[in-house]
Structure 1
Amino acid sequence: MGDVDAMFQVRLAVTENSMTSAELAAAGITPASIAEAIRSAPCAWVATIDGEVAGFAMVDLRSACLFALFVRSDCEGRGLGTALCRAGEQALLAQHEAAWLETAKASRAARLYRHLGWGDERDVGDGDIRLTKRRA
Structure 2
Amino acid sequence: MAVKIRLAVPGDVPGLFDVRTSVTENAMNQEEMQTLGITPEAITSMILASDCTWVATDDERIVGFSMIIPEDNCLFAAFVLPQFEGLGLGKKLVHIAEQVLFTHSATIWLETGKHTRAAGFYRHLGWGNEQDAGDGDIRLEKRRQG
**Bin for the TM-score computed over the shorter chain:** over 0.9
Match of 2:18 in 1: 9
Structure 2 spans left out of the alignment, 5+ residues: 1-9
Match of 1:128 in 2: 137
Partner SS state of residue 45, structure 1: strand
Partner SS state of residue 83, structure 2: helix
Alignment equivalent of 1:53, drawn from 33, 48, 62 = 62
Deviations 1:54-100 (A, max 9, x none): 11010010010001111111110011100010011000011101000
Structure 1 spans left out of the alignment, 5+ residues: none
Match of 1:117 in 2: 126
- State how far apart, in whole Å, the 2-side matches of 1:79 and 1:105 are: 22
Contact 1:24 1:30 in 2 (8 A): yes
Q: Does 1:91 align with 2:100?
A: yes
- State how far apart, in whole Å, the 2-side matches of 1:123 and 1:96 are: 22
Identity %: 51
* Structure 1 segments of 4+ aligned residues over 2 angstroms from their partners: none
The count of corresponding residues between Structure 1 and Structure 2 is 136
**What TM-score comes out, normalization by structure 1 length?**
0.97
Partner SS state of residue 58, structure 1: strand
Larger mean Cα displacement after TM superposition, 113-122 or 46-55: 46-55
Alignment equivalent of 1:104, drawn from 97, 100, 113 = 113
For 1:95, the aligned partner's letter is: H
**What TM-score comes out, normalization by structure 2 length?**
0.90
Match of 2:34 in 1: 25
Match of 2:76 in 1: 67
Contact 1:8 1:30 in 2 (8 A): no
- State how far apart, in whole Å, the 1-side matches of 2:45 and 2:88 are: 28
